[in-house]
Amino acid sequence: MSIPARAAGPPLRIVVADDQASVREGLVLLLGGLAGIDVVGAAADGEQALALVAEHQPDAILLDLHMPVLDGIAATRRLTAEHPGVAVVVLTTYADDGSVIEALRAGARSYLTKDADRTEIASALRAASDGLAVLDPRVQAALLAAVPQATVPQATVPPGTARPAATAPPAPPPDGLTQREAEILALIAQGLTNPEIAERLFLSNHTVKTHISRIFAKTGSRDRAAAIGYAYRHDIG
């Protein structure tokens, strides 16, 4: 999970939200001790998180999913609607948390487990505030495992028996996506960066960016996390 550090400039202003005081205070201490990070508030539940975001207008919020009063998914949904400029980075205890997809659908940009170190968390916050998505590799693996994989059994053809006619071609991608766009969307869902996609498909970075812009427009995705959620819902990848 290597994300370049943000260029010198104003510190990244964040809010931390976790109902466990020890975790919340630990995150504030860990992140507040990093250069370029300014923790402007700490909340114990989703309602407090919304109030602090409204008050401080941070760049990003580090949000636990399982909180009282207003849980992380509901809070993410409201944050996305009411404060679209604030990047939501979700923390979970387990990589296979069943709320992962719901959080991405609600608008979370990044998803990490709580054993991520402070450098990984800070990198994810910076990337999310810049509009990029970061998924913990274990979370990504759990997401891919949760997507139903269509399996087509291979029939055994006895010797001398005519082979069956070719099966019908697969259905076209949804929402007017081209085959190339669906292919790129699948690679995004696998966690590849733009340069990696360009190298895999022998395309220029500019061409990849153009395809991704069209993918976002056709799927109604505002960022990579939303596009990944779309890919999972439509079994692309």
Alpha-carbon span 29 to 11, nearest angstrom: 16
Residue identified by tokens 């970061």 is 134
Matching CATH topology for 12-142 and 174-233? no
Say which CATH architecture domain 174-233 belongs to: Orthogonal Bundle (1.10)
Calculate helix-pair angle for 224-233, 137-146, nearest 10 degrees. 30
Say which CATH architecture domain 12-142 belongs to: 3-Layer(aba) Sandwich (3.40)
Alpha-carbon span 163 to 12, nearest angstrom: 63
Burial class of residue 157 (count of CB atoms within 10 Å of its CB; 0-12, 13-18, 19+):
exposed
Please give the pLDDT value at position 155.
41
Strands 87-92 and 37-43: unpaired
What is the pTM assigned to this prediction? 0.60
Question: Per-domain residue ranges for the chain?
Answer: 12-142, 174-233
CB count within 10 Å of CB 158 equals: 5
Starting at the earlier edge strand, list the strands of the sheet with 60-64: 37-43, 12-17, 60-64, 87-92, 110-113
Q: Specify the amino acid at residue 154.
A: Q
DSSP state for residue 135 in the 8-state scheme: B
> What are the pLDDT tens digits along the chain (237 aa)?
444 444 457 899 999 999 999 999 999 999 998 989 999 999 999 999 999 999 999 999 999 988 889 998 899 999 988 998 899 999 887 655 567 777 877 888 888 888 888 888 898 899 888 877 777 666 666 566 655 544 333 444 444 545 545 455 567 788 888 888 898 999 998 888 888 898 888 888 888 888 898 899 889 888 888 889 899 888 887
